[in-house]
Amino acid sequence: MIIGYTSGVFDLFHIGHLNLLKNAKSMCDRLVVGVTTDELVSYKLKKAVIPFSERMEIVRGIRYVDAVIPQETMNKFDQWEKLKFDVMFVGDDWFQSDKWKLYESQFNEVGVKIIYFPYTKGISSTLLNETLQNLRK
């Protein structure tokens, strides 16, 4: 059985989120998704529009998702130590970043493959939030 893992804030759920989860599930038997806690979102000096508990339920309701867990740390290797997943899925906006080069090295040592999916162009929760704010002005 191949266990896959991905994580995100999943605020203002959109087609990019759905594409990530659908594509990830097609490449593993069991997909575990970490949803970023409200406290962790604040590290970006941001605040999620949708509360954490509701974001968890939204992601849990997606048919491609087998399990949902809180993401309480940005350290992906900490999550692997808890879950022992076989493959990790991430958007290609992180590809070749210093942070992910380090993760690739760490995960390679334990046999975990990282798969980068194309970032869905033209859509993001940040963009949706900015658009909503502009509409309210």
Residues 102-108: contacts with CB within 8 Å, 24+ apart?
Answer: 103/76, 103/77, 106/77, 107/76, 107/77, 107/80
Q: What are phi and psi of 87, to 5 degrees?
A: -145, 145
Quickly count: other Cβ atoms within 10 Å of residue 75's Cβ: 12
Active-site hit among 25, 46, 47, 121: 46
Is 46 a known active-site residue? Answer: yes
Active-site hit among 44, 47, 99, 101: 44
Is 44 a known active-site residue? Answer: yes
Of 78, 72, 76, 99, the residue nearest 89 (C-alpha): 76
Q: Residue 6 is encoded by which pair of tokens? A: 């991905």
Query: For residue 107, what is the enclosing H or E element?
Result: helix 98-109
Q: Tell me the catalytic residues.
A: 44, 46
